[in-house]
């Protein structure tokens, strides 16, 4: 016991004053965890259709006559509330449309419409992309064949 007391006195003398207890109950609070990123949008379903009625696709398919006039891409998205997605329309390899759509909740149904000229026959596709440009889904179809 005397040895411990002697050591404490030497430490106190070296520090220039008496030993004092430290109050660790007032330690700085732990840093807040980083904010949780919003869930990324995922495509739960996507179809090309002739019409949309009550937020549901009508007469969907993969081949349409050249007299169709216009088509819709209907998309069901999960996650990604508050984010945007894009429907990027292609005739062959040429981009012919880019529609930005807001995701209002999860799940969320949304769609875009594209006018199809009668002479634009052949292969088409639509890519559903997130805001970074990542392709979440691709839907292929043909017109007039």
In a domain, 47, yes or no: yes
In a domain, 110, yes or no: yes
Tally of domains within the chain: 1
In tens digits, the chain (145 residues) has pLDDT values of: 556 545 444 444 455 555 555 555 666 667 777 766 667 899 999 999 999 999 999 999 999 999 999 999 999 999 999 999 999 999 999 999 999 999 999 999 999 999 999 999 999 999 999 999 999 999 999 999 7
- The pTM of this model reads 0.74
Nearest residue to 114 via CA among 78, 143, 85: 143
In a domain, 20, yes or no: no
Looking up residue 98, the CATH number of its domain turns out to be 2.60.40.1930
Q: Which residues span the domain enclosing 110?
A: 42-143
3-state secondary structure of 81: coil
**Alpha-carbon span 75 to 118, nearest angstrom:** 25
């Amino acid at each position: 016991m005397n040895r411990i007391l002697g050591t404490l006195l030497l430490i106190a003398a070296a520090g220039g004053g008496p030993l004092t207890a430290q109050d660790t109950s007032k330690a700085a609070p732990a840093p807040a965890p980083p904010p949780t990123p919003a869930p990324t949008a995922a495509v739960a379903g996507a179809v090309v259709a002739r019409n949309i009625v009550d937020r549901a696709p009508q007469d969907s398919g993969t081949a349409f006559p050249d007299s169709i006039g216009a088509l819709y891409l209907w998309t069901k998205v999960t996650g990604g509330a508050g984010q945007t997605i894009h429907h990027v329309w292609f005739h062959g390899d040429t981009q012919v449309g880019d529609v930005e759509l807001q995701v209002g909740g999860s799940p969320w149904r949304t769609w875009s419409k594209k006018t199809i000229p009668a002479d634009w026959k052949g292969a088409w596709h639509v890519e559903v992309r997130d805001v970074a440009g990542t392709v979440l889904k691709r839907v292929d179809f043909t017109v007039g064949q």
